[in-house]
């Protein structure tokens, strides 16, 4: 479905470039990490064993990261996906600080900043999602 330029809020060129840079970086990182968790890379298995919540959590987080990594590449969904990924990495940072008590919190904190910035930049698209969905369902 083609989108016209008036269906998404206007934004400056610089913010559009920043947004796409964050989207591509976020997609690459989260698709890689999500794949590693779902595929069972040894470091991820060990980390989730040390957390003590069971390997189901590794699969859950991996699928969430894969979905978010795809979502940040879709302009209309990028802000919502970035907000969701921000929650995932807040959980990761807290887990590293409180449970694992290691330095693994540094990457999640950097990702909180990156995905938080993307969620903020794409906030207008996120806010327009309900009316867009109503329009798709014929209730607009």
92-132 confidence digits (pLDDT tens): 999 999 999 999 999 999 999 999 999 999 999 999 999 99
Alpha-carbon span 120 to 128, nearest angstrom: 14
Both structure tokens of 70? 């795809």
Average pLDDT, the chain: 92
How many Å from the N-terminal Cα to the C-terminal Cα in the chain? Answer: 18
pLDDT at 2 over 60: no
Under the banding of pLDDT at 50, 70 and 90, the label for residue 139 is confident
Find the mean pLDDT for residues 13-28.
Answer: 95
pLDDT at 1 over 50: no
Both structure tokens of 32? 């890689």
**Which ranges of the chain would DSSP assign to H, the alpha helix?**
13-39, 42-51, 55-71, 75-94, 106-121, 123-136
Tens-place pLDDT, residues 28-78? 999 999 999 999 999 999 999 999 999 999 999 999 999 999 999 999 999
CB atoms within 10 A of CB 88: 21
Q: Between 55-71 and 42-51, two packed helices, what is the crossing angle to 10 degrees?
A: 120
Under the banding of pLDDT at 50, 70 and 90, the label for residue 9 is low
List the one residue out of 84, 93, 44 whose CA is nearest residue 64.
84
């Amino acid at each position: 479905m083609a989108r016209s330029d008036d269906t998404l809020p206007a934004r400056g060129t610089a913010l559009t470039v920043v947004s796409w840079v964050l989207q591509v970086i976020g997609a690459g990182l989260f698709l890689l990490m999500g794949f590693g968790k779902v595929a069972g890379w040894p470091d991820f298995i060990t980390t989730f064993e040390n957390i003590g919540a069971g390997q189901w959590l590794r699969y859950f987080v991996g699928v969430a990261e894969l979905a978010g990594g795809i979502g940040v590449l879709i302009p209309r969904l990028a802000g919502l996906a970035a907000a969701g990924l921000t929650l995932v990495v807040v959980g990761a940072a807290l887990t590293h600080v409180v449970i694992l008590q290691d330095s693994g919190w540094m990457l999640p904190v950097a990702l909180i900043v990156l995905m938080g910035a993307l969620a903020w930049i794409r906030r207008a698209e996120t806010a327009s999602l309900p009316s867009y969905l109503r329009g798709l369902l014929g209730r607009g």
